[in-house]
Amino acid sequence: MTDSLPAPAQTMDAALTAYRGYVAGKLDTLTGQVLTLKASIGNNDLAAARPQWLDAQLTWQEIGAAYGSFGDLGDAINGLPSGLPRGTADPGFTGLHRLEYGLHHGQGPAELAPVAATLYTDIGALRGKLPSLTVAASDLPIRCHEILEDSLRDNLSGNNDQGGGMALALTAADLHGTRVVLALMATLIDGLQPGYTARVSATLDRLDTALAATKANGRWPVWRAVPLSGRQPVTGALGAALEVLAYVPALFSTDD
Amino acid sequence: MTQHTPPPGPDAPGTASDGAEPHAAGSALPRRRSFLIGAGSGAAVTALAATGITAASRPPESTTAAPAPAPAVAFHGANQAGVYRPAAQQRQACFAAFRVLAKDRAELKTLLRTLTAKGATLSTGLRISDPVPAEDLPAVAGGPPPNSGVLGEDVPPDSFTMTVGLAASVFDNPAYGLAAKKPKGLTGMTVFPNDTPDPAWTGGDLLLQLCADSTDMIHYALRDITKATRGVLALQWRINGFHSAPRPSGSPRNLFGYKDGIVNLAQDDQLVWIGKDSGQPAWAVGGTFIVVRLIRMLVEFWDRVGLGEQDGMIGRHRATGAPLGGTTETDVPDYAHDPDGQTIPLDAHIRLANPRTKATDASRLLRRGYNYDLGVDLNGNLQAGLIFASYQRNIQDQFEATQLRLVNEPMTDYIEPFGGGYFIGLPGVADKHGFLGEGLFT
Ligand code: HEM
């Protein structure tokens, strides 16, 4: 999560190519992490598996796969039980959040090993498909805005919490994903609106600070357990960032 | 992004495509925005331009008749509006308390300037053809519109008032360096013997009291103000209230069915505005202390009590609002000739609240509360009651003295105070050059 930010691209094509490279790298990392996680689950070492789930989940967040950009495979990897007839018990509930659920609800290898195996396969499939996925030019400007909208809507709302309580960690990873896209787009954005990247970055810095301030002993607390006075700076800074990020897609838009 | 408008450009150059390029199979397409370029048209990047501010492309004003505009209440004046201005209380209100997230004095000042600008604009009303106010992010073609549209294109004045108060916590926050400016007697809200404070409904650094004649105006204003202050104000609790129409005449009724607001302080009584001789810091002159108390009323229980007992608890006749023994609501209770409470019980609400003696006259306060109706409690009872709001130049001598007399009054069984706070209502803003709380920074 501390990897450095990419250099700004000079054209939208170059930005898309660089972004694809970034995603490929993240999927490679994720593949390794899920392999480790799968092994821990297989060995019934759930204490080890829990933080390994978080590592994998955070890598996924850093991809910034907002608004279902990876289609069915994305759902298989990062889907939620909502909308499924049997909820958390539904066979259609798979992937990272399914593992999170099991690891925090007393499930063991019998239930979780097959889930981990499928997850591993699905990530491999996505990695394989990546070079042939067409990404719309609209994708990156929208991502700049909407990765963090998802943090608010899905993470900090508690909607996607399957027991890990790691909304803060996920939001920090989302923030990093946003910074990556923003860094790639910096030249393009500033060409349309001089100084806008710096303006956005300032709001993101504040969010960073607010997130970091919630940590206790270097660890992310469970979001719901953070007192209101600690939550307000986070949601406040996130809201402020979203208000300015919301203009990024418009800069590239032809709508009126 | 104040004063920061994108470079005006021609409307969409001929390169516009209808929408996004094909996306990953089976995935959700980005919605709602169409884009100038598609993948593979990197050369077009330099041609990208925001297509000019929305103001340039707004449609001509409609010629159809709009409903008669509701009056505007002056925002500027020696005192804030929403206390004595307008004279007749508006029909709708929102009381909202915020945590102030401003990191230093300068940001706090900017916040108060923004609130001032919002209050002034919303009080006057805004036409779609007016320039986007400087405190808003400017319209960008294809971007989020500058306002929510809840009121349509034009924002009517609708008797809107915004009243701003600050809690003690703002003065206690070392980041703002305001310790020396803290008004005397501005404390946290006292917990009285019959109170059950709920953390979800107490606290907050800054109070916004928004009043207008319609609910959509209240909603619009709150949404507009929170958008303009995002990141600096964190909404902590809020409650909407309504002020009923007279039934059938005179003062409107509260949710116990009693006429409320019959007796109130006139400005001439000089018990509301903080004066020069008050011993308060000079910046606070022209301000007032605002006490907000959220008081649930157990209406089902109340409705199971005999009318005579109800009347005795209040000290007035329900039908007419007259003091017991009187005939009209404007009759003045005569406690001097009723020393034993034969006519108006000694522990009747109005008698305890205002014994009408020389000794207690200085404890009178201005009440301008609203009814609220929130939903359902755990047991299927209505969650409804009173947003008690009082204005006074001294919290302890007026509100607290009154409240202490009311401890264990018979009505106590039917009410539950659960929230609110104490605030210093800022002095008014003289004209368009000033801002709320200006004196805090001099
Ligand atoms: C849910 C709670 C309450 C209810 C239902 C209630 C109801 C009433 C009613 C029906 C009246 C008579 C009409 C009028 O003179 O306006 C009244 C008067 C008054 N109330 Fe309350 N009240 C409540 C809480 C409070 C509180 C918390 C205070 C102050 C601490 C207060 C102070 C007064 C005063 C000062 C008067 C005027 C008395 C006079 O001058 O004759 N009330 N209230």
The DSSP letter of residue B190 is P
User: How far B219 CA sits from the closest chain A CA (Å)?
Assistant: 19
B41 to A12: CB separation less than 8 angstroms, yes or no: yes
Gap from CA of B200 to ligand 1 centroid (Å): 25
Domain total for chain A? 2
Task: Please check whether residue B7 lies inside any domain of the structure.
Answer: no
Q: How far apart are CA A252 and CA B4, in angstroms?
A: 17
Shared domain for A132 and A14, answered yes or no, is yes
**Is residue B215, in this structure, part of any structural domain at all?**
yes
Decide: B414 in ligand 1 pocket, CB within 6 A: no
Both structure tokens of B309:
């007992």
User: Which one of B7, B28, B142 has the shortest CB-CB distance to A255?
Assistant: B142
Query: What's the B264 CA to ligand 1 centre distance in angstroms?
Result: 10
Contacts (Cβ under 8 Å, ≥6 apart) of A255: B33, B34, B141, B142
Q: Is the pLDDT of residue A236 over 50?
A: yes
Whether residue A137 and residue B20 make contact (CB cut-off 8 A), yes or no, is yes
Residue B101: the pLDDT is 98
Q: Which structural domain range is residue A243 located in? A: 138-256
Residue-level pLDDT at B400: 98
Nearest to A250 among B12, B143, B227 (CB): B143
Residue B3 lies in a domain: no
Q: Percent of chain B scored above 70 by pLDDT? A: 84
Total number of domains constituting chain B: 1
Q: Each residue of B285-323: b (16+ CB within 10 Å) or e? A: bbbbbbbbbbbbbbbeebeeeeeeebbbbbbbbbeebbb
Res. B151: pLDDT tops 90: yes
Report how far ligand 1's centroid is from the alpha carbon of B218 (Å): 25
Contact between chains at A139 and B141 (C-beta distance less than 8 A): no
The residues pairing with B155 across neighbouring beta strands, listed in sequence order, are B126
Which residue, among B148, B158, B160, B156, has the nearest Cα to B119 in the 3D structure? B160
Shortest Cα distance, chain A CAs vs residue B38, angstroms = 5
Under a CB-based contact definition with an 8 Å cutoff, are residues B352 and B363 in contact?
Answer: no
User: In the predicted model, is pLDDT for residue B39 greater than 70?
Assistant: no
At which of A136, A171, A191 does a domain end? A136
Mark which of A136, A162, A180 sits at the end of a domain.
Answer: A136
Ligand 1 neighbour B324 (Cβ under 6 A)? no
Count other Cβ atoms within 10 Å, centred on residue B398. 23
Q: Are residues A66 and A159 in the same domain?
A: no
Statement to judge: residues A232 and A131 lie in one domain: no
B176 lines ligand 1 (CB under 6 A): no
Interval B148-163 mean pLDDT:
95
pLDDT at B34 over 70: no
What is the CA(B215)–ligand 1 centre distance, in A?
25
Q: What is the pLDDT of residues B304-355, one digit of tens each?
A: 999 999 999 999 999 999 999 999 999 999 999 999 999 999 999 999 999 9
pLDDT at B129 (0 to 100): 85
**Cα dist from B153 to B122, B181, B210, whole Å:** 14, 42, 21
Task: Residue A191: list chain B partners with CB under 8 A.
Answer: 45-46, 48
- pLDDT tier at A207, thresholds 50, 70, 90: very high
Same domain, A142 and A256: yes
Say which range, A66-70, A214-218, B185-189, B273-277, has the weakest mean pLDDT.
A66-70
d(CA B410, CA B348): 7
Domain of B363 in residue numbering reads as: 50-442
Is the same domain home to A215 and A248? yes
Mean pLDDT computed over B82-107:
97
- For residue B229, the chain A residue with the least C-alpha distance is A240
Residue nearest to atom 35 of ligand 1 (CA): B353
User: What local confidence, expressed as pLDDT, does residue B55 receive?
Assistant: 32
ipTM of the complex: 0.91
Nearest by Cα to B96 from B286, B315, B294: B294
Nearest CA in chain B to A12: B42
Amino acid at the residue B330: T
CA B53, CA B143: separation in Å to the nearest integer? 10
Same domain, A67 and A176: no
Atom of ligand 1 nearest to the CA of B315: 12
CATH of the domain at A235: 1.20.1420.20
Closest residue to A249, CB basis, from B7, B25, B33: B33
If asked whether residues A126 and A172 sit together in one domain, one would say no
Burial class for A245, CB neighbours closer than 10 Å (0-12, 13-18, 19+) = buried
**pLDDT attached to residue A2:** 52
- Asked whether residue A201 falls in the same domain as residue A174, the answer is yes
From chain B, pick out residues whose CB is under 8 angstroms from the CB of A207.
none
Q: What is the pTM of this model?
A: 0.89
pLDDT in tens, B372-416: 999 999 999 999 999 999 999 999 999 999 999 999 999 999 999
Smallest CA separation from ligand 1 atom 7, residue: B260
**What span, in angstroms and rounded, lies between the C-alpha atoms of B317 and B322?**
5
Residues A124 and A242 placed together within one structural domain of the fold: no
Report the C-alpha gap between B204 and B423 in whole angstroms.
10
Q: Are residues A26 and A130 in the same domain?
A: yes
**Mean pLDDT along residues B194-208:** 97
Nearest to A255 among B44, B141, B199 (CB): B141
Domain assignment present for residue A2? The answer is no
Q: Assess whether A200 and A166 both reside in one domain.
A: yes
Tell me the H-state helices in B212-366. 215-228, 299-303, 307-314, 349-353, 358-361
3-state secondary structure of B306: coil
| Predicted pLDDT of residue B364 | 97
Substitution target from A11, A138, A234 for chain B, most B beta carbons within 10 A: A138
Torsion, Cα of B323, B329, B332, B336 (10° steps): 0
Contact B402, B185 (CB under 8 A): no
pLDDT at position A42 is: 98
Does the beta carbon of B350 sit less than 6 angstroms from any atom of ligand 1? yes
Q: What stretches of chain A adopt beta strand conformation (E)?
A: none
Closest-CA distance, B173 to chain A, in angstroms, reads 13
C-alpha distance from A107 to closest chain B C-alpha (Å): 31
pLDDT at A255: 53
Chain B CB within 8 Å of residue A8 CB = no
**Which pLDDT band holds residue B137 (cuts at 50, 70, 90)?**
confident
Within a domain: residue B16? Answer: no
- Inter-chain CB proximity A138 and B35 less than 8 Å: yes
Show which of A111, A136, A161 is a domain's final residue.
Answer: A136
- Asked, for residue B24, whether it belongs to a domain, the answer is no
- How far does chain A reach from its first CA to its final CA, in angstroms? 38
Residue A136, pLDDT score? 81
Chain A, window 10-49: residues with a beta carbon less than 8 angstroms from a chain B beta carbon: 11-14, 16
Q: In the predicted model, what is the mean pLDDT of residues B87-108?
A: 97
Q: Is B314 in the pocket of ligand 1 (CB under 6 A)?
A: yes
Q: Same domain for A178 and A221?
A: yes
List, in order, residues 6 or more apart from A25 with CB less than 8 Å away.
none
Percent of chain A having pLDDT more than 70? Answer: 96
Q: A113-162: per-residue pLDDT in tens?
A: 999 999 999 999 999 999 888 778 888 999 999 999 999 999 999 999 99
Q: Do A253 and B20 touch (CB under 8 A)?
A: no
Best of B243, B259, B263, B324 to mutate for ligand 1, by most ligand atoms within 8 A of CB?
B263
**Which residues, numbered 53 to 82 in chain A, qualify as contacts with chain B under a Cβ-Cβ cut-off of 8 Å?**
67-72, 74
Q: Which of A10, A11, A12, A16 to mutate to test the interface with B (most CBs of B within 10 A)?
A: A12
Mean local confidence (pLDDT), B267-294: 96
Is there an atom of ligand 1 within 6 Å of B395 CB?
A: no
Q: State the Cα angle at B50 between B46 and B54, rounded to 5°.
A: 165
